[in-house]
Amino acid sequence: MNQAGHIDRRSFLSQTANGFGSIALANLLADEALADAPARQRAPRAKNVIFLFMVGAPSHLDLYDPKPELSKRHRQRAPDHLLKGLNDPVVKASPTLFASPRIFEPQGQSGIEISDYLPHIGSIADEICLVRSMHTHTNVHDPAQLLFGCGNTLFGHPSMGSWITYGLGSESRDLPGYIVMTSDSGHGICAGSNVWSNGFLPSQYRGVTFRSQGEPVLNVVNPPGVDRSEQRARIEAIGALNRERFRTTGDPEIKSRIASYEMAFRMQAAVPELVKLDGESEATREAYGLNHELTRPFGTNCLLARRMVERGVRFAMLAHSNWDHHNNLNVNLKKDCDMVDTGCAALIRDLKQRGLLDETLIIWGGEFGRTPMNEVRRGFTPGREGRDHHPYAFSTWLCGGGIKSGTVVGNTDDFGYHAIEDRVHVHDLHATILHCLGIDHEQLTYRHQGRNHRLTDVHGDVIHKMLA
């Protein structure tokens, strides 16, 4: 426990009942030159996380949740039992049902039905756990993205990757424990970098953004005329000054600053090797879609994510935006599906054949769902319909470390409007993710402004039906 009453990561790793495995703690003990041995702990099912964040909210009704009844009642008024008692202006403005034009077929031995817009993800259906009963409590992009990414609708809270790297640390000494990569179809992320913020956690736990073009990480390459030995001398001098300042003030952010300088120095050698893909086979490049303009951006990020977990990066977030299809759904949804479908499937196959899938947890999903009704603001021109925001039901999927493969959890009503069976809130999803990593979500806390905060706030239950 430090002077501010915060439990440090070493104490947390040692004292938490559920534990996280010996590797993270052993590395931390080595870093701190501590002689005492790590406590015995239960091994986690997952060691690393790759979060495929589909920002903007893809339509569950057109991708993962087929509804024959909705097809039968296409263009009819939504039934009164859906509308009764709901103070929802979206529903009141557009009560006309809009059936999905997509074709759903059972995939693999599991028979999970997945849309024809996702043929590659459909081909790995036996690897995933599809959750059709997700729900949230806001249908506004910014707070919903924050809730899905940070467990809270308010700005200023730590993201999931920050919580996980705070609790577990990283197995990589030369790369950040938490890396973020983005790709989009031209719209960006409403909540911006707040989705990967460290919030009130020390700044060393913030997600480090890698760029897809040009210099991967800004301000890491030495300026002209400065060689590595000179840069090392500067880092040591700055570190000595910072350590003296820390002895005077006790400000924990100074420790984060020292760690950031040291990490940046090591990244100067590690990052160019990470992003150099020349050593990847042509078959691998083709599998990830690197040879095609549409699939290259997201596919490259997927391949880099695999290389990151191979090198010990704890949490990689791949954000693809924007799935906010208020109109022209058939065209816009297909474009985004085509951009990510190839890379997602290639990533899972690649991890599996390398023996990494069992210890890598993959999460795919957006911040909420889409309405079973046509988006009335854009009109009802056949073929150009869209869907509005919908918090009461949506789909996500997980696979890998600790997750039960080839299964479906939960269900929605006949119209995909309400999650009605084995309902899973975003807080429950976070609790389950932490469980797969060996973390008790109620124990991973940080004292801030007079209370203990956690990723799941004061909510969340582990969903055991999702677990292997």
- Let me know whether 320 and 403 are in one domain: yes
Whether residue 428 lies inside any domain: the answer is: yes
Scored b (16 or more CB within 10 A) or e, 107-129 reads bbebebbbbebbbbbbbbbebbb
Q: Is the pLDDT of residue 186 over 80?
A: no
- The pLDDT score that the predictor gives to residue 218 is 64
Whether 261 is covered by a domain: the verdict is no
Claim to verify: residue 7 and residue 73 sit in the same structural domain: no
Among 167, 169, 145, smallest CA distance to 157 is for 145
- Facing residues of 182 across strands? 319
Pairwise CA distance, residues 176 & 205, whole Å: 9
- By the 8 A CB rule, do 334 and 117 touch? yes
| More confident site: 146 or 257 | 146
270 vs 411 pLDDT, higher one: 411
Q: What is the mean pLDDT of residues 100-117?
A: 97
Tell me whether residue 79 is in a domain: yes
As for how many domains the chain has, the answer is 2
Report if residue 250 sits inside a domain: no
Which pLDDT score is estimated for 24? 39
Q: How many CB atoms lie within 10 A of CB 458?
A: 10
Average confidence (pLDDT) over 165-183: 93
- Contact (CB, 8 A) for 127 and 398: no
Given a cut of 70, is residue 110 above it in pLDDT? yes
What mean pLDDT comes out for the span 357-362?
98
Interval 42-61 mean pLDDT: 93
pLDDT at 458: 95
pLDDT digits (tens, 9 = 90+) for 262-318: 777 677 778 888 999 999 999 999 999 999 999 999 999 999 999 999 999 999 999
Specify the range with the lowest mean pLDDT, choosing from 258-262, 331-335, 390-394.
Answer: 258-262
On whether both 127 and 1 belong to a single domain, the answer is no
- Position 83, amino acid: L
Does 293 fall in a domain? yes
Give the span between the Cα atoms of 194 and 29, in whole angstroms.
Answer: 31
Beta carbons of 429 and 53 less than 8 angstroms apart: no
d(CA 185, CA 346): 21
pLDDT band at residue 14, thresholds of 50, 70 and 90?
Answer: very low
Residues 459 and 367 in one domain: yes
What are the tokens at 191? 């909540």
Q: How confident is the model at residue 22 (pLDDT cuts 50, 70, 90)?
A: very low
Whether 415 maps to a domain, the answer reads: yes
220 φ/ψ sector (left φ>0, alpha ψ -120 to 50, else beta): alpha
How far is C-alpha 161 from the geometric centre of its chain's CA atoms?
A: 8
Residue 338 has pLDDT above 90, yes or no: yes
Judge whether 69 and 414 are in contact, CB under 8 Å: yes
Within 13 Å, how many C-alpha atoms sit on residue 277's CB side?
22
Q: What is the dihedral of CA 123, 127, 130, 136, to 10 degrees?
A: -120
Q: Does residue 308 sit in the same domain as residue 281?
A: yes
pLDDT digits (tens, 9 = 90+) for 241-252: 878 788 888 887
- Kindly give the interhelix angle for 426-436 and 160-168, rounded to the nearest 10 degrees: 30
Same domain, 72 and 203: yes
- Per DSSP, 196 falls in state G
Task: Identify whether residues 38 and 65 lie together within a single domain.
Answer: no
Its domain, for residue 18, covers 1-43
Q: pLDDT band at residue 95, thresholds of 50, 70 and 90? A: confident
Q: Are residues 284 and 373 in the same domain?
A: yes
pLDDT at 117: 98
Closest alpha carbon to 157 in 359, 467, 412, 454: 454
Looking at residue 11, what is its pLDDT? 46
Overall residue count recorded for the chain in this entry? 468
Identity of residue 109? Q
What mean pLDDT is predicted for residues 400-418? 97
H-type alpha helices, 170-326: 228-249, 252-275, 282-287, 296-310
d(CA 304, CA 306): 5
Q: Are residues 57 and 35 part of one domain? A: no
Domain harbouring 363, CATH code = 3.40.720
Position 28 pLDDT exceeds 60: no
Q: Where are the alpha helices (DSSP H) in 64-178?
A: 68-72, 80-83, 89-93, 119-123, 141-150, 160-168
The structure tokens listed for 334 are: 């297909």
Q: What percentage of the chain has pLDDT greater than the value 90? A: 66
Strand partners, 317: 51, 180
Asked if residue 351 has pLDDT above 80, the reply is yes
Question: Does the global pTM surpass 0.75?
Answer: yes
CA distance 154 to 200: 12
138 in the same domain as 99: yes
Q: Whose CA is closest to 288, among 120, 148, 158, 432?
A: 120
Same-domain check for residues 87 and 35: no
Residue 88 confidence (pLDDT): 67
Residues 179 and 195 in one domain: yes
Question: Does the residue 236 lie in any domain?
Answer: no
pLDDT confidence of residue 40: 21
Continuous H helices in 194-281: 228-249, 252-275
- Determine, yes or no, domain membership for 253: no
Q: Is the pLDDT of residue 326 over 80?
A: yes
